[in-house]
Chain A
Amino acid sequence: MAVMLSRSSRQLCNVSLCTFALHKWRCYSAQGQIPSQVLDSFRAVVGNDNVSTGTSVRAQHGRDESVHSCRPPDAVLWPKCVEEVSELTRICHRHNIPIIPFGTGTGLEGGVVAMNGGVCFDLLKMDKILNLHEEDFDVTVEPGVTRTALNRYLRDSGLWFPVDPGADASLCGMAATSASGTNAVRYGTMRENVLNLEVVLSDGSVIHTAGKGRRARKTSAGYNLTNLFVGSEGTLGIITKTTLRLYGIPETIVSAVCSFPSVQAAVDSTVQILQCGIPIARIEFLDDVMIDACNRYSKLTYPVTPTLFLEFHGSECSLEEQVTATEEITKSNGGSEFSWARDQEMRNQLWKARHNAWYAALALRPGCQGYATDVCVPISKLPQIVMETKKDLEKHTLTGPIAGHVGDGNFHCLMVFNSADLEEVQRVHEFTKRLARRALALDGTCTGEHGVGLGKKQLLQEEVGHTGLKVMEKIKTVLDPQNLMNPGKIV
């Protein structure tokens, strides 16, 4: 049985094996009740309809897409503007109630799990797209705006926001977790693409990390507060607006698929493509187990060997050059002929395999749960870590098809396991620890894009070092002395 954390214990342990992988749908009851006069003061700010203590509503807000079991907040609130967020935060601060910001609930590391109960701020009602400056390539959005909603809005302007973590996530949530995705190799991650944030701090005060309304492409004014909050996962403040850098929609997009005789050949090709300086837009790796799963799930007929999915963006001329250079490299590593796609429909077809990877992996063992690892290493170390990881999976008979953004040195093992089989759970748990430590030993990181959340706090310490972690803890103490902002995550 899981260990119930009592509210009085501020010393939060790293998530134990018990909470890892328990059935997500079994939701434990509230950790503590919110006094009714406090609930009344919430209602006075946001209105009766925007406060809920209903069991299923709270359960919905106590989990995300990760394996961490549901821990519901004690109440859910729906503020409609930053002034309401600020006022609600002040109330929580006064009464020492934890606050968990909630966007689309599509996180993968348990970031919204209310370990200490408290109040969940569901920010999706704040859904305006503000201040689009087409000539300056920037736009400001509220937390309720998702990635695809923004790109739909922008479609006539010739601009888009390319960071694509897969899920249709809230853009402010993506800023909070420093999300990345398949396009990062060319367009960067959230860290490189957030120009300014509006943040509500633990005492209710509102700041603009780069100054109100500012959207200069670059600045050297003072400390980089914007990037302090990017990736802070709600532990330092609540993000209520994000100013994003936009890019021109590529003139031409061409996708290709290439099969390789071995993992080494595929990964070597990736490294060489990048070292050649080819500005490839997407370079995704699927190992043979993954391709097999995709073939079965999406009824495709790709050869069951390590495969690279490639995408090139640019003008007609530059595309020709990029493609020729890439083909030379893949051929020299024993790669097959490219399968091509140019039209939108054909490209979507081609990428269907990659996009359905998660579901294809789960379909390998119906009834089982899934968990994605997320290590990232310098690209020159990629061949070594992928080979060692595959050997590890085989040695411990684990189901873990690999799919990854190898262009960034980042790959995911989509672990599929029976959560009722505690012995297998143990094996998976230990495998992920070994994998993370393998990445750290190769100068990498334990989490390339999913965040630390609940499950990687111990690894964070190993990654940044004792002193580094102490600095993070000091920052947390300064900005959130009462430890109310999403407690239990990161530090």
Chain B
Amino acid sequence: MSARVLVGVKRVIDYAVKIRVKPDKTGVVTDGVKHSMNPFCEIAIEEAVRLKEKKLIKEVIAVSCGPQQSQETIRTALAMGADRGIHVDVSGKDYENLGPLQVSKILAALAKKEDVRLIILGKQAIDDDCNQTGQMTAALLDWPQGTFASQVDFQEDSLKVEREIDGGLETIKIKMPAVVTADLRLNEPRYATLPNIMKAKKKKIDTVKPSDLGVDLSSQLEVLSVEEPSQRQAGVKVETVEDLIKKLRDSGRI
């Protein structure tokens, strides 16, 4: 199989970090905060690397869109087994406005440029929870999509994708080229080991600009404010059932 797979990896605030909202409510605090690869992107990379180990595909390309630090995320993907990386350099205001629509335009352009047969993405990012990039990319390319994948069977020209949906599992068959988005139970990603981290340092990361790909990054969305969820109020203890009913009545609940 000579297929090339493109995997998108996003640099996000590490899932174990306690998020704090900036006092000016324009966003969350990111300075000095630990960042790492989006957990669903880890699952996507793991799936791609396993396909390569089974010799079903030829090459895994890891892509990340963002500032210089995105290269760290690509290095992690390389340490997990991706063959080479592409860093799409987006910074400043463009980076603040970078959302699923812009990223999917970039991925679609790269997919054509690199002659890719399969795109694997995480189902969503843990910072924005958009769950749109995979779907938009497939639409832009007019490719079939297998989203929320919990199992992927690679066949000659098609994929059998088992999807997690409300109420159970749905299995579909889609022709390649296609877009797959990884759900939690697809696999358990490997840890990057020291020898692989060392090897990854020698693998290539190409840097491109969105303009090189002919992509327009303008956004129709504007973030108005970011706020913390309201503080939990202390509960009230009541002595009797009558008191409870009275309190519920007084607060208009019954």
Residues of chain A touching chain B, judged by Cβ–Cβ distance below 8 Å, are 149, 152-153, 155-160, 248-251, 315, 343-345, 348
Contacts and interface: CB of A to CB of B under 8 A. Distances in A.
A139 to B, nearest CB: 13
B194 interface: yes
Given A156-B37, A158-B79, A249 B188 contact: no
A159 B194 contact: yes
Nearest to B191: A249
B197 interface: yes
Contact of B193 (A149, A248, A344): A248
A250 B193 contact: yes
Given A345-B187, A348-B188, A156 B76 contact: yes
B193 A158 contact: yes
A382 B197 CA distance: 41
A153 B193 contact: no
A249 B194 contact: yes
B16 interface: yes
A345 B37 CA distance: 21
Contacts of B214: none
Interface size class of B (residues with CB under 8 A): 10 to 19
Given A158-B191, A251-B195, A344-B187, 8 more contacts: A155-B192, A156-B36, A156-B37, A158-B79, A158-B194, A249-B194, A251-B193, A345-B188
Nearest to A159: B194
B190 interface: yes
Interface in B91-111: none
A152 B191 contact: no
B171 interface: no
Contacts of A315: 195
B181 to A, nearest CB: 20
B196 interface: yes
A203 B79 CA distance: 49
Interface in B178-218: 187-197
A249 B36 contact: no
B196 A158 contact: yes
B195 to A, nearest CB: 6
Nearest to B189: A344
Contacts of A248: 193-194
Interface string B1-37: 0000000000000101000000000000000001011
B76 A249 contact: no
Interface of B (DSSP majority class)? loop
B69 to A, nearest CB: 13
Nearest to A251: B193
Contact of B16 (A152, A343, A344): A152
14 contacts: A149-B16, A152-B16, A155-B36, A156-B192, A157-B197, A158-B79, A159-B194, A249-B192, A249-B193, A251-B196, A344-B187, A344-B188, A344-B189, A344-B190
Given A159-B194, A345-B188, A153 B76 contact: no
Contact of A153 (B16, B37, B192): B16
A248 B191 CA distance: 11
A124 to B, nearest CB: 13
A149 B15 CA distance: 11
A155 B193 CA distance: 9
A157 B187 CA distance: 21
A251 B197 CA distance: 11
Contacts of A152: 16
Contacts of A157: 192, 197
A295 B187 CA distance: 25
Nearest to B80: A156
Of A157, A158, A345, the most chain B CB neighbours within 10 A belong to: A158
Contacts of A155: 36, 191-192
B178 to A, nearest CB: 24
Contacts of B192: 155-158, 249
A129 to B, nearest CB: 9
A156 B187 CA distance: 18
Contacts of B191: 155, 158, 160, 249
B167 to A, nearest CB: 24
Contacts of A343: 188
Nearest to B36: A156
Contacts of A149: 16
